[in-house]
Amino acid sequence: MNMEYGPEAKNALTKLIQGKPLTIHVYDKDPYDRLVGDVYCNGIFVQEKLLRKGCAWHYEAFDKRSSFAQWQKEAQNAGRGLWANPNPVEPWEFKKKERNRRNAERDQRMPMI
């Protein structure tokens, strides 16, 4: 939520799915042993909708589906959603910077022995 365009993406997802039944087709586990799946809401493929609106990133390192890359590219080319920013920060890079920032803050608070 602290990322640029995070609140807007959350609002788009909330508007799409809130109070509606979801169907999740689990097809894999990620390297952290979490379930991975495709999400549908009233017949709408949620990942496709969010990618096309520029409300989500396609993480190609974990998902090689060319359709996802194409939907993201369409949003980029049209400057939709997060792609209105000419230099958006990837979520994985944002998380790394936040982790480094928190570690630096923690290190500054620790007493020297």
pLDDT tens-digit readout, 16-66:
999 999 999 999 998 899 999 999 999 999 999 999 999 999 988 888 899
pTM of the model as a whole = 0.84
Q: What's the mean per-residue pLDDT of the chain?
A: 92
Please state which CATH number belongs to domain 6-85: 2.40.50.90
Mean pLDDT confidence for 90-112: 83
Q: Where are the domains of the chain?
A: 6-85
Q: Measure the CA–CA gap between 97 and 86, rounded to whole angstroms.
A: 19
Tell me which residue of 101, 85, 73, 97 sits closest to 5, measured CA to CA. Answer: 85
Mean pLDDT confidence for 89-107: 87
Residue 104 pLDDT > 70, yes or no? yes
Q: Measure the CA–CA gap between 106 and 113, rounded to whole angstroms.
A: 15
